[in-house]
Amino acid sequence: MEAPIAVAVVSWNRRGDLARALEALHADQQAGLCEAWVVDNASSDGSPAMVRERFPWVHLIESDENLGYGRAVNLVAERSESPWLAPANQDTMVWPGALRQMLATGHAHPGAAAVAPRLVLADGSTQHSVHPFPTVGLTLSYNLGLHRVSGRIGDRLCLEGHWDPDRRREVPWAVGAFLLVRRTAFAAVGGFDPQQWMYAEDLDLAWRLRQDGWRMVYEPDAWVGHVHESATRQAFGARTLERFMAASYDWMASRRGAAVTFMVATVNLCGAGARLALASLRPDSDAPAREELARWVRAHRGGLRAVLGPRRGSLRDMGAQRPPAPVRLRRELKTAGRRVQRQLAQRHFPDDKARTAPKFALIDTAFERFAPRSLVDLGGVWAVEGAYTFHAVREQPLEAATLVDELVHPGLERRAARLGVRTVRGNFGNRDVQAQVGPAELVLFYDILLHQVGPDWDELLAGWSKTARVVAVTCPVFRGERTLRLPDLPRDEYLDLVPDQDNHRLLHARLDEQHPERGRPWRDVHDVWQWAITDHDLRAAMGRLGFELAMFENRGPFAGLERFDDCNYLFARPKELHGRDR
């Protein structure tokens, strides 16, 4: 079975830290809980060679340039398939049990896009890693010291020194040194913004997730060690604070607008200046403390200058000069389905982005030839976020559309509701789910048949096509003489046929063990390739169900596999097919 978590460690010239991070992950990797990825950002200290030599179980991506943090994590998201993604700094060390605890918390909170652990510093103290989103009201209350009057205010706003790090809670956003992120949520918002090279990428991701209806949960029982700022101080030295605040103000101007940024920077500058002035008047204040306050003054002054600089114009012109970024964000949120469509091939097949276009074309052909009035899309959430159903609803005169998947989440439900799409959260192999959905004239079986056991692929076809007039199937088709149940093959033969993934490499070591979440042996879970289905057997199965072939397309080898072709089928009832084609 596929490991539930893909840990994406981003590394740059910190070979020792990287080695410790990977050593800490090894036990969880061996247990099948995670797969480890390292993106090396053009290190010159021999880090890639060290990974290849000491950690052969790690997926290594070597970049020719320093991609920054977010773009590096996005690379892992494109190339991995685990339902959870864990962006990780090279200077983090996962404590035993932390990943399992974070995963349990994620499952217990289906509306949470991400789970943040307790970050533990070298001295054993808890790093302040959760924060509120910057607003004018928060900035005023902080600089007026309201959190000192009421401890409840400081705790509720997650302010440093005024919050309880031992309490599990929902938080606005958390430091991205280590997070566990639900892949469906990550894909829905387009991953990390590649424009955020370093700093504020975690703030930006959390903001966009919140705008899309998701939440973030802090889990204090999951401990992750953190050598704070090891990479950033290497990159920016004493200017780390200034670089952090510059990135934060730049983010604020892009997402919140220049007017809000101006007010926040002004209030912060006045507050920091007042604290520095008071400290200078106190005889007991020391020079380091005053210098720290002075750094904050410089950082906020830099943010204010950036807003008022020549690129942004005068305060009066801000409204005209800065809106494009927020406008683009709102446009992205309104058209999430189309954006995901463009990302589909990159997500599953990064070398063939054109692969998904025929799937949309197959839907359009079904409507052009047979005009179905209702549609059911089975398993259309994993990695594609309902893109096929949303395409059909936008482009075709549908009366009813239903999206069925156990991965349906609140953000998707809201987007579906806006388009009039019904969502059903459940396993489409379950008869009760099928009864709940009811009949449909067009059923989509897109890349799901090869995964289905109990019911098997042909039983799934039979159950869902009883009332259908048209059935669309996309599937890797086996070039062999007969259909094979793949896990029954010897391990070497199995691995020769299927994609090279951790879940496939580990399968035969635990075939008959009970899967902890699926309630069945690992050999029967749908997370791995289960079938090599031949063209002959697929057509024969549909023939027995009373369908004839209306259209067929072979697009060549499937994802580079020698024994499988990428095939698209359209089947229809004979009276539909011949009555309309005469």
Question: Which pLDDT band, with edges at 50, 70 and 90, does 382 fall under?
Answer: confident
Question: Which pLDDT band, with edges at 50, 70 and 90, does 321 fall under?
Answer: very low
Distance CA 63, CA 61 (A): 6
What residues does 38 pair with on adjacent strands? 9, 60
Higher pLDDT, 546 or 262: 546
**192, amino acid identity:** F
- Residue 356 has what pLDDT? 64
Question: Which pLDDT band, with edges at 50, 70 and 90, does 335 fall under?
Answer: very low
- Residue 320 has what pLDDT? 34
Q: Could you give all domains of the chain from N- to C-terminal order, each with its CATH number?
A: 5-128+165-228 (3.90.550.10), 240-332 (no CATH), 336-581 (3.40.50.150)
Residue 175 in this model has a pLDDT that exceeds 50 = yes
| pLDDT per residue as tens digits for the range 237-255 | 445 666 777 777 878 877 7
- Residue 402 has what pLDDT? 97
Helix (H) or strand (E) holding 447: none
Share of the chain above pLDDT 90, in %: 53
Distance CA 397, CA 372 (A): 9
CA–centroid distance for 115 within its chain? 12
Distance CA 528, CA 44 (A): 38
Higher pLDDT, 10 or 314: 10
**Phi then psi dihedrals of residue 89, to 5 deg:** -70, 155
Is the C-alpha dihedral spanning 162, 164, 165, 169 positive or negative? negative
Give the pLDDT mean for 19-32.
96
Q: Do residues 11 and 40 touch, judged by C-beta distance below 8 A?
A: yes
Range from 347-356, 381-390, 398-407, 430-439 carrying the lowest mean pLDDT: 347-356
Residue 347 in this model has a pLDDT that exceeds 70 = no
Range from 68-77, 147-156, 548-557 carrying the lowest mean pLDDT: 147-156
Is the C-alpha dihedral spanning 514, 517, 520, 526 positive or negative? negative
Share of the chain above pLDDT 70, in %: 85
Give the pLDDT mean for 186-202.
83
What is the longest distance spanned by two Cα atoms in the chain?
98
| pLDDT per residue as tens digits for the range 125-143 | 999 999 988 888 888 888 7
Distance CA 273, CA 335 (A): 44
Distance CA 126, CA 122 (A): 9
Residue 346 in this model has a pLDDT that exceeds 60 = no
Strands (E), 489-542: 531-534
Distance CA 566, CA 78 (A): 20
Residue 341 in this model has a pLDDT that exceeds 90 = no
Distance CA 162, CA 148 (A): 8
Q: Do residues 71 and 194 touch, judged by C-beta distance below 8 A?
A: yes
Give the pLDDT mean for 536-559.
95
Distance CA 307, CA 210 (A): 25
What's 44's DSSP letter?
S
Give the up-direction half-sphere exposure of residue 346: CA atoms within 13 A in the CB hemisphere: 13
Residue 183 in this model has a pLDDT that exceeds 70 = yes
| pLDDT per residue as tens digits for the range 413-422 | 888 998 999 9
Give the pLDDT mean for 116-124.
93
Distance CA 401, CA 441 (A): 10
- Residue 229 has what pLDDT? 58
Q: Do residues 303 and 268 touch, judged by C-beta distance below 8 A?
A: yes
Residue 227 in this model has a pLDDT that exceeds 80 = yes
Residue 73 in this model has a pLDDT that exceeds 70 = yes
Q: What percent of the residues of the chain are helix, what percent strand, and what percent coil, each to the nearest 5? A: 50, 20, 30
| pLDDT per residue as tens digits for the range 444-459 | 999 999 999 999 999 9
- Residue 279 has what pLDDT? 80
Q: Do residues 541 and 458 touch, judged by C-beta distance below 8 A?
A: yes
What's 479's DSSP letter?
-
Question: Which pLDDT band, with edges at 50, 70 and 90, does 579 fall under?
Answer: low
Give the tokens for residue 448. 């799901």
- Residue 249 has what pLDDT? 80
Place of tokens 């994802």: 559
Residue 310 in this model has a pLDDT that exceeds 60 = no
Question: Which pLDDT band, with edges at 50, 70 and 90, does 569 fall under?
Answer: very high
* CA-only gyration radius of the chain, Å: 27
Residue 72 in this model has a pLDDT that exceeds 90 = yes
Report the mean per-residue pLDDT for the chain.
Answer: 84
Residue 101 in this model has a pLDDT that exceeds 60 = yes
